[in-house]
Structure 1
Amino acid sequence: MVDVKKMMEYEYLTKEHLSGFNKYKYSARDTSPLSVYVMHPFWNYIVQFCPTWLAPNVLTFVGFLFSLANFVFLSYFDWNFYASSGDGSAPPIPRWFWLLAAINIFLSYTLDGIDGKQARRIGLSGPLGELFDHGLDSYTAVLIPACLYSVFGRCETSLPPIRMYYICWMVFFNFYTSHWEKYNTGVLYLPWGYDISMWGSTIMYLVTWFYGYGVWKKTFPLGITMGILMEAVLHISALSNMPMVVYNVYSSYENKTGKMRPFSEAVRPIYPFLTFFVIFMFWAYKSPNDIMTNDTRMLFLLSGTIFSNISCRLIVAQMSNTRCEAFHWMTPIFIPIATMV
């Protein structure tokens, strides 16, 4: 049986972490034109309608639940990603759901945009609220691409599961490098890809609701399908942030504005992410039971869960200005799993 008392007494944050949180000041820069000129004015307007007694963390959590709701619905309607394949192997997803999915993702995006504004508005800004916000964002990193896969389905005009898994990893990589950047610079430079992906997802769901999933089955010259186009856009969107990450970290050392960590300390957060990537890619390719083909959704979900855990540990380290761990405690557990399942 689970010892609830022992769980309640467990120290998830050390005294060193809490001491660092007391000195922490939020620093972020958002240069995305879509965010600066469209979304922030919209969010500044919307947040005025939030009652002052409404806690920012409630907005954060409800926004996450809207994203989670899409994943849960699609897990019920389309567990194996065949519903939109068009080959009759599974019943199609109800048309009404795609309108609901568009509303859910837009509400999630909006609540994620106003939670910080609500915190500053009522004087409740703090490091734990930011940790909660970014922690849930790290879990959303797998929910959004997994839901988009159901728009196309597993068919000739879409992507095989392994290539969709690569997309998930590109989203992970984009999110993680942004926080690795902050670990070294002290500033969170918000990637442009996030705003594009949220708007893109909303539009794709609306198009699917209006025209049906068949609209994504078109093939262009040279055999380019809509699935391949989506793949290219998502990879480019994720990788577009990398040059700025490198430049910002380099500039922080050149101008002595960052944490000025030695190289060995600056790259420490990369090790748990890289180890996690190697183990799970080995599992995807060498699983005795071919888990990538037979239970794609579960592999996506498990990967997203572990990624969120690793990301939160990095976020805690960068916010408390403490040393990030180089070894994730769950690594010894997943090495034998990857060779047996």
Structure 2
Amino acid sequence: MGHIPQRSLENLKKYAYKGVDKSLISRYVLNPFWTWFVTLWPLSVAPNTITLTGLSIVFINFFTLLYYDALYLTEREGEEGPPHWVYYTWAAGLFAYQSLDAIDGKQARRTGMAGPLGEMFDHGCDALNTTLEVILASRALGLGRSWWTVASQIATLANFYLTTWEEYHTGQLFLGHISGPVEGILMIVAIFSISGYYGPQFWDQKILTFTHLENLTLMSRLPNIPLNESFMVFGAFGLGFNIFYSYLNVLKATRAQKTSSIRPLLLLAPFAGSALLQVAWLSHPRFNNSYILDSAAFVPFLCAWGLQFAHMVGRMILAHVTKGPFPMWDWVWIWSIAGAIDANLPLFGMAPIIQTSTRNTTIFVWFTLFISFAAYARFVTLVINDITNYLGIACFTVRKKDDKGVWHNAQPDKLS
């Protein structure tokens, strides 16, 4: 067919979605809303159209940030950031994204379009949303261009990678009592709303002072860090919790399948290696004041990182639905490897070859972003073409088979 080998395409017909959601909020609060919300959509609307609509709203939020916030477009400091009302639009947009992301599967079952393409498309949009929300949430928390934002990016991407890694080995998507797609998103919606009311400076308050616990003897020995940094610490504990329970689920699956319980741990190496690569590039020694973390290149750097991550997990999800081998290497890292090596040449007594100034560094970061975008767009296009051609379906059109087995675009009054 093209990108996907023929034997892997044949496995698409064996695919069946399996998922577990233990969230109480999802079960008793959100799911009744989602069940009603999906009925508002005509049966002629394809599930992937709903998914893409949600992602488009997130992109509008992101472009709003870039439009209003000069801090992310220039090297100037001390900018006030977007007007407070903008944060409310981010909250509404993210909640809309969550709702649309939740009902696309319900729409797929209503229209008979549930299948591997839907999971690929849904997870691909989620992967892109992950980095965009890191940038938006970091701005709402007042973290700006800092290592805390980098830490947030690593933790958030790690959670997504763990979920995909776990699904590959267990055959099902597992969402615990507290998960990123449910409680995590609602938490960020709350952050946006609070920042809309008080402003991002709200998060600069010290946590013990804010909670009136600083005078208690038991609490006096704890560091009185700002609320935004406390949120990052909380996220680190959440990541550790997810790592532990994800591995327990994988361990249970490997024992049932009588396969190695050690090898799955080795498959965490691609994420660890890619994250260390990006950190190595960011932490390079200063040369002619060229330093990504302090420059306007920081946001395009994060976006390039996010696109490379989306490419990596996209291949993981493809391996899951086609029962293919786990991808250990991704060629899109090459440009980041080149950037990291070039920027760190001063450690070996040599000047950078490419990143000799802030301007040249920014150009190279934007070039990496362009290559990462082109690579991911190519991957998505090829995979969609292969799956739709092989299964005889359409990505954004509801199609049905007639009595002779011929596919036709479905009409709203012909669907049930």
Instruction: Tell me the TM-score normalised to structure 2 length.
Output: 0.72
Matches within 5 A, 1:224-239: 224-239=225-240
Give the equivalent residue in structure 2 for 1:187. 172
- Is 2:162 aligned against 1:177? yes
Note the alpha carbon deviations across 1:55-106, whole angstroms, 9 max, x for none.
Answer: 10011001111122212211222253599xxx98224311221121111011
Note the alpha carbon deviations across 1:10-43, whole angstroms, 9 max, x for none.
Answer: 9332323321211111111111112122111211
Give the equivalent residue in structure 2 for 1:270. 268
Give the equivalent residue in structure 2 for 1:307. 309
Give the equivalent residue in structure 1 for 2:377. none
Cα deviation for residue 115 of structure 1 reads 0.5
What percent identity do the matched residue pairs reach?
Answer: 25
Q: Secondary structure at the match of 2:71?
A: coil
- Kept in 1: contact 2:11–2:323 (CA 8 A): yes
- Kept in 2: contact 1:268–1:324 (CA 8 A): no
Match of 2:13 among 22, 39, 60: 22
- Is 2:33 aligned against 1:42? yes
Cα deviation for residue 226 of structure 1 reads 1.4
Q: Unpaired segments of 5 or more residues in structure 2?
A: 215-222, 343-354, 356-416
Q: Secondary structure at the match of 1:224?
A: coil
Q: Structure 1 stretch 191-200 or stretch 137-146: which is displaced more?
A: 191-200
Q: Structure 1 stretch 187-196 or stretch 260-269: which is displaced more?
A: 260-269
> Aligned letter for 1:275?
G
Q: Aligned partners of 1:206, 1:332: CA distance in 2, in Å?
A: 39
Q: Aligned partners of 2:279, 2:129: CA distance in 1, in Å?
A: 20
Match of 1:66 among 57, 67, 91: 57
Q: Structure 1 stretch 166-175 or stretch 71-80: which is displaced more?
A: 71-80
Matches within 5 A, 1:53-92: 53-78=44-69, 80=71, 89-92=78-81
Cα deviation for residue 264 of structure 1 reads 7.3
Structure richer in helix, relative to its length: 1
Which has the higher Rg, Structure 1 or Structure 2? 2
Cα deviation for residue 253 of structure 1 reads 2.3
- Kept in 1: contact 2:282–2:292 (CA 8 A): yes
Q: Aligned partners of 1:209, 1:33: CA distance in 2, in Å?
A: 27
Matches within 5 A, 1:246-285: 246-256=247-257, 261-262=259-260, 266-267=264-265, 269-285=267-283
Cα deviation for residue 51 of structure 1 reads 0.8
Give the equivalent residue in structure 1 for 2:352. none
Give the equivalent residue in structure 2 for 1:11. 2
- Kept in 2: contact 1:81–1:149 (CA 8 A): no
Instruction: Tell me the TM-score normalised to structure 1 length.
Output: 0.87
Q: Structure 1 stretch 13-22 or stretch 214-223: which is displaced more?
A: 214-223
Cα deviation for residue 212 of structure 1 reads 2.8
- Following TM superposition, where does structure 1 have runs of at least 4 consecutive aligned residues deviating by more than 3 angstroms? 79-83, 260-269
Q: Aligned partners of 1:88, 1:161: CA distance in 2, in Å?
A: 12
Cα deviation for residue 180 of structure 1 reads 0.9
Q: Aligned partners of 1:152, 1:263: CA distance in 2, in Å?
A: 39
Q: Secondary structure at the match of 1:255?
A: helix
Corresponding residue pairs, total? 322
Q: Unpaired segments of 5 or more residues in structure 1?
A: 1-9
Match of 2:108 among 115, 119, 144: 119
Give the equivalent residue in structure 1 for 2:92. 103
Note the alpha carbon deviations across 1:241-300, whole angstroms, 9 max, x for none.
Answer: 2221111111112333xxx55467635643432321221111011165221221321221
Match of 1:131 among 120, 124, 134: 120
Q: Secondary structure at the match of 1:153?
A: coil
Give the equivalent residue in structure 1 for 2:129. 140
- Kept in 1: contact 2:319–2:325 (CA 8 A): yes
> Aligned letter for 1:331?
W
Cα deviation for residue 310 of structure 1 reads 0.4
- Kept in 2: contact 1:82–1:90 (CA 8 A): no
Cα deviation for residue 174 of structure 1 reads 0.8
Q: Structure 1 stretch 70-79 or stretch 314-323: which is displaced more?
A: 70-79
Note the alpha carbon deviations across 1:296-321, whole angstroms, 9 max, x for none.
Answer: 21221111111110010111001111
- Kept in 2: contact 1:284–1:292 (CA 8 A): yes
- Kept in 2: contact 1:80–1:297 (CA 8 A): no
Matches within 5 A, 1:315-330: 315-330=317-332
Give the equivalent residue in structure 1 for 2:243. 242
Q: Aligned partners of 1:35, 1:233: CA distance in 2, in Å?
A: 22
Q: Secondary structure at the match of 1:25?
A: coil
Q: Structure 1 stretch 51-60 or stretch 205-214: which is displaced more?
A: 205-214
> Aligned letter for 1:205?
F
> Aligned letter for 1:231?
M
Q: Aligned partners of 1:212, 1:163: CA distance in 2, in Å?
A: 19
> Aligned letter for 1:22?
K
Describe the shift of the 1:317–1:267 C-alpha distance in structure 2 as closer, same or farther (beyond 3 A): farther
Cα deviation for residue 152 of structure 1 reads 2.9
Describe the shift of the 1:88–1:18 C-alpha distance in structure 2 as closer, same or farther (beyond 3 A): closer
Note the alpha carbon deviations across 1:208-266, whole angstroms, 9 max, x for none.
Answer: 2223333223223443211112212322333322221111111112333xxx5546763
- Kept in 2: contact 1:193–1:237 (CA 8 A): no
